[in-house]
Amino acid sequence: MTGQPRRILLVLATMLTAPLSTIRVAQAASAAAEDYPTPSATDWAVAATSGELTRREVLSVVLARSPQLRLYALDIRIADARRLQASFLPNPELGVEFENIGGTGDTRGFRGAETTIAVSQPIETAGKRGKRLAAASADSKVAEADYRARRSEILAEADKAFHELLAAQQTLGLATEQVDLAGRLSEAVGRRVSAGKDPAVEGSRAAIELAEAQLQRADAATAVEAARGRLSLLWGDEEPLFACVVGDQSEPLEPPDVHTLRTSVLDHPAVTRWTEAAAAAVARLRLAEARGTPDVTVMGGYRRLGADNDNALVFGLAIPLPVFDRNKAGRLEAHYELARIREQAAAARTEMLGRLALVHTRLTAAARRAQVLQSSILPNAAAAYDAALIGYQQGKFDYLNVLDAQRTYFDVQQKAVAAMLEYHRVRADLEAITECPLEAIAVPTRTVSSNTFPEVDSNEP
């Protein structure tokens, strides 16, 4: 090869080196992104298979193993991959062209052939690459905000499921105590009937009450198993591997004034995501405007003139003429998309403030109801039942009085459990939209009192 062709090939190699080096950098970045480990579930097998789970352990397991949360984590990966793809430059194009072949006379066969080897490189104008990258980066932030918002929702669902199971276990415990109480009371009634102090019909009533208590216990046990299954499904286990959940019924807390929570609510990712979405829409609008400016394609190459056995360089420039398509419809679509996102942002803000007002009202009412039931109504019901039972044992009341007091006491117990469950459900909703534990922003109400069934002396005739 003569010196001239060597110089020509050197020029071609120089033209190829710049875009290829950029591609190698992008490929290295892509490889680094692929080497970054995909979020995998932390090994929570020990906690998930243990006999007891606390609320903290439940939330940790759900956070690590929730199938729904993994979907949103993958959305972040997808957005990151799109952002990486948006940073790439257009690929160069290698072309080979043969002219003046297969003709007649001097162009017969390949005697007069002209061979051109050229490389063309599109050059983006109007900052398209930067604007495309800005849009992809904003979309990535939207995906991160969606992940945070869904994480808050899933943790609230897990918190509710935990307290639903805890309440079901407490209901089962109450039903078991009721069965034991009804059994002892049935024995006491039986002794009084045998002693002729009560009619035989009272014994039948006591037996019926015992059977109904046993049915309620069976229903409560079924409810516990159903609640266990719902909780385990939150982290992907079709069959629950744990035995039960443990936790104490903390004091009901009333939320602070609703106006003090507005800032936290408006900083919720379900609201702030629309700020990022608007930024992405603005970037896409700028990109749509830039696409109205045509890109330039430069070309350079080497030509071999077979007839004269000469060599030559070839350079070219191509610019599309924006006669028919200036991306006017694309710009219009981007404008409408931005307007739609701004409307959605205002709607999301209004919706979140409405949720805050509703949840705040419900939580205040639930906290007060739970506090009144546990500190006032329940002790009075217990005292009334205790007095009726003692009076029956002393012959002052009949069995119907005892039965009525017993049912009232058990009903109040159930209402107290249901009130605390409702309180924890609404508390989870408030913490989900404020992303702040209620304990950090509220003060407790008055101390609640514990309660147990009074003892029945089954040996008393």
Section 236-256 average pLDDT: 86
Cα dihedral across residues 278, 281, 285, 290: positive or negative: positive
Maximum alpha-carbon separation in the chain: 138
For residues 242 and 50, is the Cβ–Cβ distance under 8 A? yes
Q: Are 155 and 109 within 8 A, CB to CB? A: no
Q: What is the pLDDT at residue 310? A: 86
The residue that leads in pLDDT, 106 or 212, is: 212
In this predicted structure, the answer to whether residue 90 has a pLDDT above a threshold of 80 is yes
**Range with the poorest average pLDDT among 162-171, 203-212, 252-261, 297-306:** 203-212
For the cut 90, the answer to whether the pLDDT of residue 202 exceeds it is: no
Both tokens of residue 185? 């009371």
pLDDT computed for residue 130 by the predictor:
94
Whether residue 60 contacts residue 44, with contact meaning beta carbons closer than 8 Å, is answered with yes
CB 362 within 8 A of CB 433: no
Least confident of 55-69, 242-256, 362-376: 242-256
- What pLDDT is stored for residue 405 in this prediction? 83
* The dihedral sign for the CA sequence 185, 189, 191, 197: positive
pLDDT band with cut points at 50, 70 and 90 for residue 38: very low
Confidence of residue 143 (pLDDT cuts 50, 70, 90): very high
Angle CA 23–24–28, to nearest 5: 115
The kind and range of the H/E element at 117 are: strand 114-123
Residue with tokens 């266990």: 228
- Output the pLDDT for position 32: 35
**Lowest-pLDDT choice from 133-147, 314-328, 359-373, 374-388:** 374-388
pLDDT in tens, 326-353: 999 999 999 999 999 999 999 999 999 9
Over residues 53-59, mean pLDDT: 92
Position 42 scores a pLDDT of: 46
**Smallest Cα–Cα separation from 88: which of 145, 29, 41?**
29
In 3-state terms, what secondary structure has residue 293? Answer: coil
Q: What is the DSSP letter of 396?
A: S
For residues 284-312, average pLDDT: 90
- Regarding predicted confidence, which is higher, 194 or 285? 285
- What number of CA atoms fall less than 13 Å from residue 173's CA on the CB side? 12
Average of per-residue pLDDT values in the chain: 82
* pLDDT given for residue 265 in this prediction: 93
- For 406-459, the pLDDT digits (tens) are 888 888 999 999 999 999 999 999 999 999 888 887 755 544 443 444 444 444
Q: Is the pLDDT of residue 396 over 80?
A: no
pLDDT band, residue 23 (cuts 50/70/90): very low
SS (H, E, C) 84-103: HHHCCCCCCEEEEEEECCCC
d(CA 304, CA 98): 10
pLDDT > 70: what percent of the chain? 83
Q: What is the pLDDT of residue 107?
A: 66
pLDDT value for 277? 95
